[in-house]
Chains A and B, each alone.
Chain A
Amino acid sequence: MKKYIAACLSAAMILALAGCSKEDSKTDATTTTAEATTEATTEATTEATESETEASESETEATESEAAGDVMTYADYAAADLDTEVTIEAYVQAKQSWWEDKATVYLQDEDGAYFCYEMACSEDDYAKLVDGQKIRVNGFKSEWSGEVEIVDATFEIVDGNWTATPVDVTDLLGTDELVEKQNQLVSFTGMTVEASKDADGNEVAFLYKWDGSGNEGDDLYFNVSINGETYTFTVESYLCDKDSDVYKTVSGLKVGDTVDMEGFLYWYEGVNPHITNVTVK
């Protein structure tokens, strides 16, 4: 009888161990399943996003086909009321940022320039937005702190390539005409670097963030003057990061340096160019 019970107990133990062992296997399997689920979810999400993007592209194509005859000239666009739907065609001059299927870009044609803020754009399409590429954009005209921009936009790539030549607007600084060049690729010549005050009250040639509270990698702010007037220019860190030539050049500026600059005529409560190139004379 003892042997019989011992055998039963052993059998039960073996079964239990087998159960544990199988449970481990199951755990592995579960792990794999979880991974697979994660992957599947990711893929599904990606696929869904791609599908949405495709759908969005289809919609965009449909919209653009319908709107093809309604492409506005720059003059039409400039005259359009804020919060109205606009469709324009222009050429990519610079890409500022891409995040989560949204691209912010500077566009320009022979007549004027556009700032497209967070335009719907897949990562693949963002790669196609090379300098000079022509695109058709449909969105809403908006204004934020004086910066006129196109928001909630979609786009499609169309045939055409053109790159703007910077127009020198140094003489327009301080005039009402300057705003007509908003968002254009422009240049400034013979300006002098003026002192800014850092967080400790020291005079410096540039600041990380507007009051010096930032760190390397943040936007750079620097003052430049001409004809007795001082203006604040910016190296926008998304447009030109800390590894860019312009970021390094501005980081090395000295008060009193004479500089020539190029950049995009961004607006924030007044002119505030996003500088992309600086030459110290």
Chain B
Amino acid sequence: MRSLSFFSKKFHSAARVFMSTVILMSVLTSASCHGAKPLDAFDVPDSFDESRDYDITFWAKNDTNATQKNIYNKAADDFMALYPNIHVNIRFYTDYGQIYNDVITNIATNTTPNICITYPDHIATYMTGESVIVPLDSLMEDGRFGLGGSEVKFDSPEKDEVIPEYLEECRIGTDHYALPYMRSTEACYVNKDYVEKLGYELPDVLTWDFVFEVSEAATRKNDDGTYAINGQKTMIPFIYKSTDNMMIQMLFQKGAPYSTPAGEVDLFNDNTREILDGISGHAQSGAFSTFKISSYPANFLNAGQCIFAVDSTAGATWMGAHAPNVDISEDKIVDFETVVYPVPQYDPEHPKMISQGPSVCLFNKEDPQEVLASWLFASYLLTNDVQLSYCQTEGYVPVTSKARKDQAYIDYLSQKSETDALHYRVKIDACELLLNNTENTFVTPVFNGSASLRSAAGELIENVTKSSRRKQTIDDAYYEKLFSDTNSLYRLDQIETKATGNIKDLGKLPTTSVILLISLGVTWLLIGAYVVYRSILKKRM
């Protein structure tokens, strides 16, 4: 079984992430008020001192997947064989939220790891502290130790071999603060047999209208209360795992506002309400539900109780009648053909889908040599060996063109199978989905507070879905309260933006500052007057 009680832990994680952000702000504010000395900005050293030993800590995240853990361990061992003076200590997590919490706790005590797996949204919060995160541009471009550098002891990709879209996702403001490590997107895993049984033919590109129409058709019941499509008592035709992503992608596909790079929150708009109205009707009819409300889409899909299951491509090994990983007993699994599609679209001619997946960031330290050692390991994670072994564990794709062009990867993609777990067809289909749509991916603007905004976006769908199932009235007053409560709960009204609108007015200059400035001005005036007076005297003499 995948994760019993995962649900409860999932929610605790989300809550903790949210609260940690608030706590971090307080801690950092307090620290700065007490004059805590920030670290000096990192400069790339002229050389790497290999006569010294370095202990570096890497906080890694695996998808509750033992193979991924082994790959990290092997990567560390292989790296340490090349650099015997660098000792990599890995701490494993299975939850991004927990890493985030622990990083925040450790920023306050200057005990951050050297490297950690993270998301840019989280980095934006870490960066609230001065010089906490190392900007990577100078490191990436360093001729000796950078990407493809002359003095690195492994086959490092060049900077231009990192997929540009993914590198761009790691830029916050003007600098890059992370390296992409793996990338995924969301996929819609479809029970093709049921779609056709309902009299529909799958289109080239799934649209929201099509998915909802088929889903409604699948809610028809027999006289005995079972569903006509599967003869079972349970059928949730359309289940979405991450409602954060659902709302974000729907808004982006519509070209509707969500947020600006400056941190302005535009989530609460008419487009959002229109989307929620649509979802509400389908939730009330039982055609749509979410992971948080019902459970993992894969469990329903594999039991023949779902037709459209949207989950990450990084969860592809759980999807389908022949999935290598299953959470339900074998006697519940039904046989059907699984087809992998991009998430449903509003405009099939111009598909848009979210880019997600782990990145790695470096934490600044007093010793630049230690930072350089940690950079070397971080960049080692981009080598073909690490990229190819890790991406094959799930529906991830490598983040370098160098790995994608590797013959071993090409061979891997060509060997689809329904029975061999390594070459599980649905997983490789999910990879190809992303490989073929890299240019159609997008990410949301990153700023301090963007992680909260993501959560808020999903919470709107969760709340409307729950309310609809409970037959509650959803009208103007409902939306007004929902938007207001969500705005308040996630403190979106407290996000400081770089735009003019929301920056705090610092008020009038303090009196003492005015005195100081006037005094300096008077001093210079008097100096000037003295110089003039002296020159006049000289002329007279």
A96 to chain B, nearest CB (A): 7
**Of residues 106 to 156 in A, which have CB atoms within 8 Å of B's CB atoms?**
117-118, 140, 142-145, 152
Instruction: Chain A residues near B328: list those with CB within 8 A.
Output: 269-270
Known pairs A13-B523, A102-B15; A236 contacts B94 (CB<8 A): no
A96 and B516: CB pair below 8 A? no
Q: Given A31-B34, A38-B30, decide whether A213 and B4 contact each other with a Cβ distance below 8 A.
A: no
Q: Does A34 count as interface, using CB distance less than 8 angstroms?
A: yes
Residue of A nearest to B516 (CB): A19
A9 to B521, CA, bound (A): 11
Residue of B nearest to A142 (CB): B293
Contact B327 A35, beta carbon cutoff 8 Å: no
Q: Mark B501-541, 1 if CB is under 8 A from A, else 0.
A: 00000000010110111111011001101100100000000
CA distance A100 to B92 in the complex (A): 25
Which residues in chain B, 279-309, are within 8 Å of chain A measured between CB atoms?
Answer: 293-296, 299
Contact with B along A8-19 (1 / 0, CB 8 A): 110011011011
Q: Inside 8 A of B529's CB, which chain A residues have their CB? A: 5
Count, chain A residues at interface, CB 8 A? 61
Residue among B4, B16, B523, B526 making CB contact with A210, cutoff 8 Å: B4
A26 and B510 contacting across the interface, CB-CB below 8 Å: yes
A12 near B4 with CB under 8 A, answer no
* Residue A23, interface by CB 8 Å: yes
Which residues A210-240 have CB closer than 8 A to chain B?
210-215, 218-219, 221, 232, 234, 236, 238
**Contacting pair B469 A23 (CB below 8 A):** no
Given A22-B515, A96-B8: A16 and B523 interface contact (C-beta under 8 Å): yes
Asked if B29 contacts A23 (CB within 8 A), the reply is no
A1-46 residues with Cβ-Cβ distance < 8 A to B are 1, 5, 8-9, 12-13, 15-16, 18-20, 22-23, 25-26, 31, 34-35, 38, 41-42
B473 on interface, CB distance cutoff 8 Å:
no
Q: Do A199 and B66 contact each other (CB < 8 Å), given the known contacts A15-B519, A83-B470? A: yes
Interface pair B527/A9, CB less than 8 Å apart: yes
* B519 engages A209 (CB within 8 Å): no
* Residues of chain A lying within 8 A (CB to CB) of residue B466: 83, 140, 152
Quick one: given A83-B470, A97-B12, are A211 and B295 in contact (CB under 8 Å)? no
- Output the nearest chain B residue to A1 by Cβ-Cβ distance: B533
- Most B Cβ at <10 Å: residue of A34, A42, A200: A34
| Cβ B516 vs Cβ A16 within 8 A | yes
Query: A100 contacts B15, CB within 8 Å?
Result: yes
Q: How many A-B residue pairs have CB under 8 A?
A: 156
A9 to B2, CA, bound (A): 78
Nearest CB in chain B to that of A84: its residue: B470
Residues of B within 8 A of A42 (CB): 26
Considering the chains assembled together, what is the distance between the CA atoms of A272 and B7 in angstroms?
14
Contacts known (A22-B515, A144-B295); A209 close to B64, Cβ less than 8 A: yes
Instruction: Give the distance in Å from the alpha carbon of A269 to the alpha carbon of B428 in the complex.
Output: 27
Q: Take A13-B523, A117-B8, A199-B69 as given contacts and tell me if A35 and B92 are in contact as well, using a CB distance cutoff of 8 Å.
A: no
Query: Is B329 part of the contact surface with A, judged by Cβ < 8 Å?
Result: yes
In the bound assembly, the distance between CA atoms of A214 and B35 in angstroms comes to: 39
Query: Is A188 positioned at the interface, with any CB of B under 8 Å from its CB?
Result: no
B69: A residues at CB distance < 8 A: 199, 213
For residue B70, CB closer than 8 A to chain A, the reply is yes
Nearest to A27 among chain B residues (CB) is B35
B477 CB–A CB distance under 8 Å: no
Q: Given A1-B533, A100-B19, A213-B94, are A219 and B4 neighbors across the interface (CB < 8 Å)?
A: yes
Q: Which residues of B contact A219 (CB under 8 A)?
A: 4-5
Determine if A210 and B30 form an interchain contact, defined as CB atoms under 8 angstroms apart: no
Contact (Cβ within 8 A) A234 B4: yes
Contacts of A142 in B (CB 8 A): 293
Contact B515 A212 (CB under 8 A): no
Chain B residue numbers with a CB within 8 Å of A16 are 516, 519-520, 523
Q: Which of B8, B327, B513 is close to A269, meaning CB atoms less than 8 Å apart?
A: B327
**CA A27 – CA B519 in complex, angstroms?**
19
Distance in angstroms between the alpha carbons of A268 and B327 in the assembled complex: 9
Q: Which single residue of chain A is at the shortest CB-CB distance from B470?
A: A83
CA distance A199 to B92 in the complex (A): 14
Q: In the bound complex, how far is the Cα of B19 from the Cα of A99, in angstroms? A: 10
Question: Contact between B526 and A12 (Cβ–Cβ < 8 Å)?
Answer: yes
Cβ-defined contact, A144 with B7, below 8 A: yes
Judge whether B520 and A238 touch: CB under 8 Å.
no
**A140 and B5 contact, Cβ closer than 8 Å, known pairs A8-B526, A211-B65:** no
**Is B9 an interface residue when CB atoms closer than 8 A count as contact?**
yes
Closest Cβ–Cβ distance, residue B13 to chain A (whole Å): 10
Which of A12, A41, A219, A236 has most chain B Cβ within 10 Å?
A12
A104: Cβ under 8 A from any B Cβ: yes
Indicate if B200 sits at the interface (CB-CB under 8 A): no
Is B513 a contact partner of A99 (Cβ separation < 8 A)?
A: no
B30 contact from A19, A35, A218, Cβ within 8 A: A35
- Which of B9, B66, B67, B510: most chain A Cβ within 10 A? B66
Q: With contacts A12-B523, A199-B66, A238-B9 known, is A268 near B530, CB below 8 A?
A: no
Q: When the two chains form their complex, are residues A22 and B30 in contact, meaning their CB atoms are under 8 A apart?
A: no
Closest to B515 in A: A19
Q: CA separation between A221 and B299, bound complex, in Å?
A: 20
Contact at B64–A214, with CB atoms within 8 Å?
yes
Residues of B within 8 A of A91 (CB): none
Residue of B with least CB distance to A272: B4
Contacting pair A26 B512 (CB below 8 A): yes
CA distance A122 to B64 in the complex (A): 32
Bound CA span A20–B327, Å:
68
- Point out the residue from A41, A100, A145, A210 that lies within 8 Å of B64, measured CB to CB: A210
Chain A residues lying within 8 Å of B296, measured Cβ to Cβ, are: 145
Q: Is the CB of B5 within 8 A of A234?
A: yes
Instruction: Please give, as numbers and ranges, the residues of chain B lying within 8 Å of A96 by CB-CB distance.
Output: 8
The 8 A CB mask of B62-81 against A (1 = contact, 0 = none) is 10111111100000000000
Q: Which residues of B contact A211 (CB under 8 A)?
A: 64-66
A266 at the binding interface (Cβ < 8 Å): yes
A145 close to B299 (CB less than 8 A): yes
- Contacting A at CB under 8 A, from B99-157, are none
A117 nearest CB neighbor, chain B only: B8
Encode A174-214 as 1/0 by CB contact (under 8 A) with B. 00000000000000000000000011100000000111111
Can you show 24 pairs from A to B with CB atoms below 8 A apart? A9-B527, A15-B516, A16-B519, A19-B512, A22-B515, A23-B516, A26-B512, A31-B34, A31-B35, A34-B30, A35-B30, A38-B29, A99-B12, A118-B11, A145-B295, A152-B466, A199-B67, A213-B62, A213-B92, A219-B4, A219-B5, A238-B8, A268-B5, A269-B332
Contacts A5-B530, A26-B510 supplied; 14 other A-B pairs, CB < 8 Å? A5-B533, A13-B523, A38-B33, A83-B466, A83-B469, A117-B8, A199-B70, A209-B94, A212-B66, A213-B66, A213-B69, A219-B5, A232-B4, A270-B328
10 residue pairs, one from A and one from B, having the closest CB atoms: A19-B516, A199-B66, A22-B512, A16-B519, A15-B519, A12-B523, A145-B295, A213-B66, A19-B515, A268-B4
Binding site for A on B (CB under 8 A): 1-5, 7-9, 11-12, 15-16, 19, 26, 29-30, 33-35, 62, 64-70, 92, 94, 293-296, 299, 327-329, 332, 466, 469-471, 510, 512-513, 515-520, 522-523, 526-527, 529-530, 533
